[in-house]
Amino acid sequence: IGFRAGHSLMMLLGDAMLLHPQARVRALGNPGEVRVGPALLGRAVDALGEPIDGGPRLDLKQAWPLAGRREGALERASVHVPFDCGVRAINALATMGVGQRLGIMAGSGVGKSVLVDTIAGHAVADVIVVALIGERAREVSDFVNRHMAGHRRGGIVVVAVPADHAPNLRLRAAQYASAIGEYFRAQGKRVLLILDSLTRVAHAARELALVLGEPGAARGYPPSALAAVTRLVERAGNSARTGGAVTGIYTVLADGDDANDPVVDTARAILDGHIVLSRALAQRGHYPAIDVPASLSRVMDDLVPPDIAAAAQRLRALIAAREDNRDLVLMGAYRAGSDALLDEALALSGVIDAFLTQTRGAAEPLAASHQALLALMVPGDA
């Protein structure tokens, strides 16, 4: 993991029970490469590619650089094809594109895992790679049991390293998942990479940097920890050479619901959009608890027709007006007719909430989401 005073600094990937002083260290294999291949489909593995699902060992014949193959900026194709994630509020109001990098930003306990679960179960992609980094072991087990028993099993790969594992393993798991996505992209596949969570990757990189003596900077995060986040996100995107794509969805934990957390700031700057989950909405039983005015997709206007973009903008304005004046309305201090936009928002409040909410396990295709948006905003033209 580093060098100091002419010595190599190493950190174990596994148990240290059989290690003793003066033990010899031998270099085996190629630490800069990982094994990949179609045999990963339908399997759950750890950061070293070893199965954790009780199945047989994998016969992986192809090698891929753990840190990825560097590509020039002009080797990446633009984002121009809409991506169907299966969530109505995102499909309609923050339409994603194939090859986009999107962040889901939330504090703990506001429905982030449920939203990720819905997307993993219903998104339209050739291959779905899910990286569960630093999660509780129970959550890893639940996710694998749910998704590896369904009809989509043959198109899903899960890479999981729970919270009690070494930081270098947690960081390696995120890199391995990205390498798997890149491998399938090189085969011309459209890949969805879900990484949960980017914050725990930053925590792992911070632990390693502090062990090496790097000084903490922004709230204790050394520069290399935030740089690791940037390198990871930049690996997603479209390939102009193969026509394949890695669409990245990265969850970001806002520590203490702090939207100005260094990891949140870094992610927001390099991602192509972000979905913000609201604790206030979650407490009202509104799921998914998406804060629509605070969420955006930077590529949406390039993906949808003008009428969809205009309807989405109009609905966002209505939602913002209603939320900004919520306390005033609840106190009875608002007089109808004072604000035409707020009057319209209050009149449509029930149907807006019905449009934005979605039960767990339900899916709303992209085309149906856009039609529902037009029916809500332009009833005569839908």
Higher pLDDT, 149 or 373: 373
Residues 371 and 241 in one domain: no
The answer to the question of residue 16 being in a domain is no
Residues 120 and 210 in one domain: yes
Q: How many domains does the chain have?
A: 2
Confidence band (pLDDT; 50, 70, 90) for 4?
A: confident
The answer to the question of residue 4 being in a domain is no
Give the integer Cα–Cα distance in Å for 278 and 224: 30
Residues 327 and 299 in one domain: no
Per-residue pLDDT at 382: 46
Last-in-domain residue among 303, 318, 345 = 303
pLDDT in tens, 160-203: 999 889 899 999 999 999 999 999 999 999 999 999 989 999 99
pLDDT in tens, 334-377: 888 888 999 999 999 999 999 999 988 889 999 999 999 999 99
Dihedral sign (CA 205, 208, 212, 217): positive
Residues 219 and 342 in one domain: no
Per-residue pLDDT at 275: 96
Residues 190 and 322 in one domain: no
pLDDT in tens, 300-309: 999 999 999 9
* Residue 213 clears pLDDT 90, i.e. is over it: no
The answer to the question of residue 12 being in a domain is no
Residues 289 and 312 in one domain: no
What six digits make up the tokens of 361? 């396990």
- Three-state secondary structure call for residue 275: strand
Per-residue pLDDT at 330: 85
The answer to the question of residue 144 being in a domain is yes
What is the extent of the structural domain holding 192?
Answer: 36-303
Residues 121 and 257 in one domain: yes
The CATH number of whichever domain residue 341 belongs to comes to 1.20.1270.330
- 50: Cβ contacts below 8 Å, ≥ 6 apart: 57
Confidence band (pLDDT; 50, 70, 90) for 329?
A: confident
The answer to the question of residue 20 being in a domain is no
The CATH number of whichever domain residue 223 belongs to comes to 3.40.50.12240
Residues 286 and 370 in one domain: no
- 54: Cβ contacts below 8 Å, ≥ 6 apart: none
The answer to the question of residue 9 being in a domain is no
Q: How far is CA 311 from CA 92, 135, 245, in A?
A: 9, 38, 29
The answer to the question of residue 25 being in a domain is no
Residues 214 and 337 in one domain: no
Q: pTM to 2 decimals?
A: 0.91
Residues 336 and 352 in one domain: yes
pLDDT in tens, 39-93: 999 999 999 999 999 899 999 989 999 999 887 777 889 999 999 999 999 999 9
The answer to the question of residue 15 being in a domain is no
What does the mean pLDDT of the chain come to? 90
Q: Does the bond joining 288 to the residue before it have cis omega, within 30 degrees of 0?
A: yes
Residues 253 and 324 in one domain: no
Confidence band (pLDDT; 50, 70, 90) for 379?
A: low
Last-in-domain residue among 303, 330, 361 = 303
Residues 240 and 317 in one domain: no
**What amino acid occupies position 72?**
G
Give the integer Cα–Cα distance in Å for 335 and 57: 68
Last-in-domain residue among 281, 303, 325 = 303
* Residue 151 clears pLDDT 90, i.e. is over it: no
Least confident of 88-102, 154-168, 210-224: 210-224
